[in-house]
Chains A and B, each alone.
Chain A
Amino acid sequence: MRPPATHMLFARFIAPFIALFITLWGGCSSPVEIDNPEQILLIQAFLTPGEEVVVNVQKTLPSRLYYEGLEDPVSGAQVIVNTEASTTVLDEDPAVAGIYKASAQALPVIEGETYQLEVTHEDRVVRARTTVPIRSRVTEVVNDTITYFQRYGDIFGELVHPGEFSWIKSPTAAGYVIIVEALDVTSLPVTAEPLTAQFDTLLALRERLEGQVANDSLRVLERQISDLRAYFNTNITLVNDAGDTTRFLRERQQEDWREQEAKESTNNWTEGKLWRERRQDLFGNRVLDFWVPADSTRSDFWWLGVRFEGEYRITLQSVDENYFDYYTTLFNGNSGADSDPGPIFHVDGGTGVFGSYSRDSFRVIARRGD
């Protein structure tokens, strides 16, 4: 049999394929994004023995509306916590929307007990459960007073473990979260930043209105300014409860702190800007937390988490699976990789963390050696 001529094969087969492909290709469209996606319920609660139960109920925010620190609290939800023996309805805090509480007497948190949460709002129901881990007791602390020498930063960068501590393993914890916290330093979370901007607005308004309005009106404005200034002085400060001023351990950081005040004149910083910088400096350096696996019974603590002179509280939290899984994956979701869906949340019908922990703690004093 004579094979068909090549050009016939092309005309009959390949050319029509190309034409069809181009037609289909031109007509195809790729999937588009969802406009105004529905926001979901976000719940947060960390139960611990000896403290009241606080459940924070919010909704997630559309990305185009979100800024750091912004929340969308949910009022009027029904929040119930069940144990084997009881059912407790939490009351919404009249002063703070979205916060639902039960006192330690009404709903005691007990190690080993399981708590089931059910939050109902409109037609949505969110459920979660947690079992409070058995506490781990700190048994030994090596070096409860640690001294930092300035030359460490320049030469002995490797001298990173000034101390360590040990504990008895918890039989039920999913892991441990260790918090290193400077007690002689106070700061505010990011939710305070609008106040610093408001402060600048008030200062600008005061300057503009001077000579234009009555002094009584100006005094009202000045009182607002001084109240805010006092608030910042009290809550963003290196002065401890005893009235003593602490310092950064590293002279370089202390120098930066001193120079900040000068930046009001040299860098045209507003006073609000100065408070924002100080808030971030102190808030970011005041607390360090990290995790260790469930089978650990000791940990070092590092100079990395010790930034100030003074007293530190180191807390060993024995945490449940909800808290631990979220904590160990909280940086997930930003890589864009297919296998990186984001943090782990053990919540049905919504998102968030309903976790629990028990704790023990000890104190360490950090000093400057030179």
Chain B
Amino acid sequence: MSKSTHKSIALLAALVLASGGQAGAADISGFLRDASNGESLPYVNVYLKGEKRGFTANESGYYVIVDVKPGKHTLVASLVGYRTFSEEVVVTADDIVNDISLIEQALLFEARVIKNDPEEVDDFDISPGRTTLQPRELKAAPAAIEADPVRTIQTLPGVASLSDFNVGLYVRGGTPDQNLVLLDGTDVYNASHLFGLFSTFPADAAKSTELMRGAYPARYGGRLSSVLNVITDEGNKEEFEATGGVSLLASRLTMQGPVGRGSWLISSRRTHLDPVIAIARKALDAKKFGYNFYDLQGKTHQVLSHTDQWTLAAYTGQDALVYRFDEFDFDLEWGNRTVSSKWTHIFDSNLFGNLLVTGSRFRGATVFDTEDVTLKEVNRLTDISLKTDINYVPDENHTVEAGVNVKRMSMDYQFGESSQIWYDLDVAGYHNSAYVQDNWSVNRLLVLQPGLRFNQFSNGGYTGWSPRLAARYQVGQDTYLKAAVGRYHQYIFRLTREFQGISLLSNVWALADSTAEPSAAIHYVAGVETRWRKFDVDLEGYYKDYSNLYEINYDEQQSTKIGDLLRRGPGRAYGVDLLIRKRSGRQTGWLSVSTGLSERTIDGLKLDESLKPQSFNSKFDRRVSLNLIHSVSFRRRWRLNSRVAYAWGQPYAQVLGRGEITLPSGLRWSFQEKGELNAVRLPSYQRVDLALQRRFKFDTWDMKFNLQVINVTNHKNLFNYFWSEGKADSQTPAKRRKISMFPILPSIGFDFSF
């Protein structure tokens, strides 16, 4: 071996030793769990008191603080809703495995205000626009009939909804298909029931719901707008537990308990609208009319050893509508199925990894049948993924995350009648990606998060680099300046056929190909977060620059190429979001205020005199919106939740005139002459909701009666205008009618657990 080789090896060894930590220092690591049921707790802040060093636990509840000097230290763990954990730890030269159990804060019975530790660092995660909601917060917002995690998310700043009938998330000028929706790491498409009235996510089994509203890190990709990450419970590892409830709409039941070296969980929900359906059937004079939806989720989580855990989960949910009237039948069904298997392994205290295999399938089918013809439309989107992620903490200043994702996606769409298929699209492709990112504590005040993601999409041969950079700088005791920038790509999209405000029959997904390029966006975010007295305050501005946004091309009737079925063009969105939040104490809640603009310039739409497209307000452009969520407990067993909402109305195109064309066959068809696209707005949206809960305890049963009133003031929020045709026989002109959203809507429900 030559001298130069010796030198190289020595240098390399020195570097490894230097990066591997300080001499005599040790790592403190472990899992954070709920003391009552053994449930792992993600996103817990774990830190060493007085040393400004800590770690935010990952999704599996694992934390590590590396290179801790020998001696006595105070280890603190805090999570909203749990009592702060504090323990003295004596560190020697050996790594310490210290699993922590947190005790849930019984906030209903303890009216004492919790004082925050002034030395606590709130959050070691520097992602801007990131909001995490715990189960209690997910149910804080009064809901129409049932608590819904996504409906609660819609009250956060920067998140708009089209109407009371739509759970789609329009995040900072993005459409719902631009959100990466993950259920325990598995992609979910079209996560809604009852034509968008409810989401598919079970409020009872959701352990944590995290929304990143923009400039999200390199760990995530494939969508332009945001990430909604829902983590469900693993199951009670200590004892059998059941929770459930009955509302006017549905019944639900979640059971869980210990099995093997871990737990199991089954959660289900099903409608029981049959009496209401029977009344509707008679009113419609239908031979048959039925609607139902169900969700069924199962999971088992096994702690094989300290270093290995395994989870197997599956979900199925479906909506079905059937309507039979005289000579025609109408059947509509859609639903998701997912299955996932996850193995987590601790290679070393500072090296943690996941291997996740997932499968997800969305299917929508519409059948229209008369005695002479049967029309059928079916769309399936299937996604099979293999994901690996590793977390590596080489020293106290760096947390490196890296991973690879291999995903096979296929979409098939068929439309035709019983003996002849008119459209048949069958596309498959691979979306492969790899990423690396580092949480780098440059000094005691500045943290940077550079990241890089590489995408490769086989359909069309597309590749793209997505650099990301986030920064956080501490300017005060609890005050941080934040900024982030990132590039994003999207290779699949939903062909929206949304009626103004609802998502009926808009379930068709397509993949990018040689005729339809992927969409892209650049996000710029900057803001400040601070704590003022008991309130967390987050003020953030954003700018998003989109390219290759798609709208469905209603004019194209013949082509089977995806590119021909779409109109495309650039867009942008910018605005300011404010979130003021109180998360502990007898009164909790948040105030969210948003002002923002979303506009697009799409080929063929809003053409000027030289036939060039001009920019127009997106339909989901809510220039100003405000949500106030408030929850207060009183007299030990009572809780009052309330919501006040305000938003500018949706933009629309005014109908300026009507006309008719008579064809050579003699048939006549009317048309509407419309004004400038989305140049006027519906009246503003205003709503006040109240929910009163009374808790009872009977033996081992915890019960809760809920009385909710949606739209207490019965304000008529406009959903849409439509023009009637008038009556030719009496020469009665057309009238513009208003369709309103939810009127005052009381509902009752009963929840239980034992």
Please give the residue numbers on chain A whose beta carbons come within 8 Å of chain B beta carbons, in ascending order: 3-7, 9-10, 13-14, 17-18, 21, 25, 28, 30-34, 37-40, 42, 44, 46, 48, 56, 58, 60-71, 152-154, 157-158, 160-161, 177, 179, 181, 189-191, 193-194, 196-197, 250, 252, 272, 276, 287, 289, 291, 293, 300, 302-304, 317, 325-344, 351-353, 357
Q: In whole angstroms, what is the CA distance A46 to B369 when docked? A: 34
Among B320-338, those with CB < 8 Å from A are 327
CB distance from A117 to the nearest CB of B (A): 15
Chain A proximity mask over B563-576: 1 for CB below 8 Å, otherwise 0:
00001000000000
CB distance from B257 to the nearest CB of A (A): 46
Q: Is the CB of B664 within 8 A of A69?
A: no
* B33-41, B359-367, B397-405, B720-728 - the one binding chain A: B720-728
Give the chain B neighbours of A158 by CB distance below 8 A: 374, 418-419
Q: Is the CB of B680 within 8 A of A32?
A: yes
Q: In whole angstroms, what is the CA distance A336 to B651 when docked? A: 11
Q: In whole angstroms, what is the CA distance A25 to B624 when docked? A: 7
Q: In whole angstroms, what is the CA distance A3 to B497 when docked? A: 52
Cβ-defined partner of B555 (8 Å) among A191, A252, A291, A332: A332
CB distance from B415 to the nearest CB of A (A): 15
Given A4-B476, A333-B671, A338-B677, the answer on whether A17 and B578 have CB atoms closer than 8 Å is yes
Give the chain B neighbours of A329 by CB distance below 8 A: 554-555, 557
Give the chain B neighbours of A21 by CB distance below 8 A: 578, 593, 595
Q: Is the CB of A6 within 8 A of B478?
A: yes
Q: Is the CB of A289 within 8 A of B665?
A: yes
Q: Is the CB of B419 within 8 A of A338?
A: no
Cβ-defined partner of B726 (8 Å) among A70, A71, A152, A300: A70
Q: Is the CB of A339 within 8 A of B554?
A: yes
Give the chain B neighbours of A193 by CB distance below 8 A: 728-729
Given A3-B476, A328-B557, A337-B500, the answer on whether A46 and B655 have CB atoms closer than 8 Å is no
Q: Is the CB of A67 within 8 A of B725?
A: yes
CB distance from A190 to the nearest CB of B (A): 5
Among B592-607, those with CB < 8 Å from A are 593, 595, 600, 602, 604-605
Q: Is the CB of B554 within 8 A of A340?
A: yes
Answer yes or no: B372 CB below 8 A from chain A CBs. yes
Answer yes or no: B479 CB below 8 A from chain A CBs. yes
Q: Is the CB of A339 within 8 A of B372?
A: no
Give the chain B neighbours of A157 by CB distance below 8 A: 369-374, 418
Give the chain B neighbours of A152 by CB distance below 8 A: 371
CB distance from B652 to the nearest CB of A (A): 7
Q: Which residue from chain A places its CB closest to the CB of B567 in the assembled complex?
A: A339
CB distance from B195 to the nearest CB of A (A): 15
CB distance from A39 to the nearest CB of B (A): 5
CB distance from B110 to the nearest CB of A (A): 27
Chain A proximity mask over B470-482: 1 for CB below 8 Å, otherwise 0:
0000111111000
Given A61-B659, A189-B666, A337-B500, the answer on whether A6 and B530 have CB atoms closer than 8 Å is yes
Q: List 16 A-B contacts (CB under 8 A).
A: A10-B537, A14-B530, A28-B624, A34-B654, A42-B659, A67-B727, A153-B372, A157-B418, A287-B667, A304-B373, A326-B661, A336-B652, A338-B619, A339-B551, A339-B567, A357-B664
**Residue among A6, A40, A302 facing the most chain B CB atoms (10 A cut-off):** A6
* B67-75, B179-187, B731-739 - the one binding chain A: B731-739
Q: Is the CB of A40 within 8 A of B652?
A: no
Q: Is the CB of B673 within 8 A of A339?
A: no
Q: Is the CB of A287 within 8 A of B679?
A: no
Q: Which residue from chain A places its CB closest to the CB of B474 in the assembled complex?
A: A3
Chain A proximity mask over B451-490: 1 for CB below 8 Å, otherwise 0:
0000000000000000000000011111100000000000
Given A63-B657, A276-B729, A336-B652, the answer on whether A342 and B551 have CB atoms closer than 8 Å is no
Q: Is the CB of A30 within 8 A of B623?
A: yes
Cβ-defined partner of B477 (8 Å) among A5, A153, A190: A5
Given A21-B595, A69-B728, the answer on whether A342 and B654 have CB atoms closer than 8 Å is no
Answer yes or no: B230 CB below 8 A from chain A CBs. no
Closest 7 CB pairs of A and B: A67-B726, A336-B500, A339-B551, A60-B657, A193-B728, A66-B658, A30-B681
Give the chain A neighbours of B420 by CB distance below 8 A: 300
Cβ-defined partner of B729 (8 Å) among A6, A37, A153, A196: A196
Q: In whole angstroms, what is the CA distance A72 to B631 when docked? A: 59
Please give the residue numbers on chain B whose beta carbons come within 8 Å of chain A beta carbons, in ascending order: 327, 369-374, 417-420, 474-479, 496-501, 528, 530-533, 537, 539, 551-555, 557-558, 567, 578, 593, 595, 600, 602, 604-605, 616, 618-619, 623-624, 648-649, 652, 654-675, 677-681, 684, 720, 723, 725-736
**Residue among B533, B670, B679 facing the most chain A CB atoms (10 A cut-off):** B670
Q: In whole angstroms, what is the CA distance A332 to B370 when docked? A: 24
Q: Is the CB of B733 within 8 A of A65?
A: yes
CB distance from B562 to the nearest CB of A (A): 15
Q: In whole angstroms, what is the CA distance A95 to B557 when docked? A: 40
**Residue among B669, B720, B736 facing the most chain A CB atoms (10 A cut-off):** B669
Give the chain A neighbours of B602 by CB distance below 8 A: 338-339
Cβ-defined partner of B479 (8 Å) among A3, A38, A154, A342: A3
Give the chain A neighbours of B497 by CB distance below 8 A: 335, 337
Cβ-defined partner of A337 (8 Å) among B418, B496, B720: B496
Apart from A14-B578, A189-B668, A337-B619, what are 20 other A-B pairs with CB-CB below 8 Å?
A: A3-B474, A25-B595, A30-B623, A37-B657, A63-B736, A67-B728, A157-B372, A158-B374, A190-B728, A194-B728, A304-B370, A325-B555, A330-B661, A333-B674, A334-B672, A335-B497, A335-B500, A337-B498, A337-B551, A342-B674
Q: Is the CB of B672 within 8 A of A333?
A: yes
Given A5-B476, A160-B418, A327-B663, the answer on whether A302 and B373 have CB atoms closer than 8 Å is yes
CB distance from B510 to the nearest CB of A (A): 14
CB distance from B170 to the nearest CB of A (A): 13
CB distance from A205 to the nearest CB of B (A): 16
CB distance from B734 to the nearest CB of A (A): 5
Give the chain A neighbours of B501 by CB distance below 8 A: 336
Q: Which residue from chain B places its CB closest to the CB of A195 in the assembled complex?
A: B729
Q: Is the CB of A338 within 8 A of B551?
A: yes
Q: Is the CB of B731 within 8 A of A160?
A: no
CB distance from A267 to the nearest CB of B (A): 15
Q: Is the CB of A339 within 8 A of B373?
A: no
**Residue among B552, B657, B666 facing the most chain A CB atoms (10 A cut-off):** B657
Q: In whole angstroms, what is the CA distance A352 to B735 when docked? A: 24
Q: Which residue from chain B places its CB closest to the CB of A305 in the assembled complex?
A: B372
Give the chain B neighbours of A276 by CB distance below 8 A: 729
CB distance from A17 to the nearest CB of B (A): 7
Q: Is the CB of B539 within 8 A of A17?
A: yes
CB distance from B738 to the nearest CB of A (A): 14
Q: Is the CB of A61 within 8 A of B605?
A: no
Give the chain A neighbours of B723 by CB distance below 8 A: 63, 66
CB distance from A75 to the nearest CB of B (A): 17
Q: Is the CB of A337 within 8 A of B731?
A: no
Give the chain B neighbours of A189 by CB distance below 8 A: 662, 666, 668
Given A18-B578, A60-B658, A302-B373, the answer on whether A344 and B476 have CB atoms closer than 8 Å is no
Give the chain B neighbours of A32 by CB distance below 8 A: 680
Q: In whole angstroms, what is the CA distance A34 to B676 when docked? A: 11
Cβ-defined partner of A4 (8 Å) among B417, B475, B735: B475
Given A4-B476, A14-B537, the answer on whether A64 and B531 have CB atoms closer than 8 Å is no
Given A60-B659, A67-B732, the answer on whether A46 and B477 have CB atoms closer than 8 Å is no
Give the chain B neighbours of A287 by CB distance below 8 A: 665-667
CB distance from A365 to the nearest CB of B (A): 19
**Residue among B648, B658, B725 facing the most chain A CB atoms (10 A cut-off):** B658
CB distance from B619 to the nearest CB of A (A): 5
CB distance from B311 to the nearest CB of A (A): 40
Q: In whole angstroms, what is the CA distance A327 to B501 when docked? A: 28
CB distance from B621 to the nearest CB of A (A): 10
Q: Is the CB of B496 within 8 A of A3?
A: no
Give the chain B neighbours of A190 by CB distance below 8 A: 668, 728
Q: Is the CB of A34 within 8 A of B675?
A: yes
Q: Is the CB of B657 within 8 A of A39?
A: yes
